[in-house]
A = this chain, B = another copy of it.
Amino acid sequence: MPTTRTHPATQRSEHTREALLRAGTLRFVEHGFEGASVEQIAREAGVNKALINYHFGGKRGLYVAILDTTFGEIREGLRALAQSGGTPEQLLGRMLDLFRVMAEERRPGFPALMLREAMAPGERFGRLIGPHLAAMVNVVRLIVERGIREKRFRKVDPLLTHLAMIGGMAFFFATQKGREHLAVQGAFPGRFPTGEEFVEYMKGLMLNGLAVERPPRRPRSERSRAK
Chain A interface (Cβ within 8 Å of chain B)? Answer: 29-35, 112, 115-121, 125-127, 130-131, 133-134, 137-138, 141, 151-152, 154-161, 163-172, 174-175, 177-178, 181-182, 185, 187-191, 193, 197-198, 201-202, 204-206, 208-216, 219, 221-226
Sample 17 A-B pairs with CB under 8 A, ordered by A number.
A30-B120, A31-B120, A118-B178, A119-B174, A125-B182, A134-B187, A141-B189, A151-B222, A156-B226, A159-B189, A160-B197, A161-B201, A163-B171, A205-B209, A208-B208, A212-B219, A213-B216
Please give 14 more A-B residue pairs, beta carbons under 8 A apart, in addition to A133-B182, A137-B188, A151-B219.
A35-B35, A115-B115, A119-B175, A125-B181, A141-B190, A155-B225, A159-B189, A160-B197, A164-B168, A166-B171, A167-B171, A167-B172, A209-B209, A214-B224
Instruction: Give every chain B residue within 8 A of A219 (Cβ-Cβ).
Output: 151-152, 212-213
**Distance in Å: Cβ of A139 to nearest Cβ of chain B:** 11
Q: Distance (Å) between the CB of A221 and the closest chain B CB?
A: 8
Q: Mostly helix, strand, loop or mixed at chain A's interface?
A: helix
Q: How far is the CB of A34 from chain B (nearest CB, A)?
A: 4
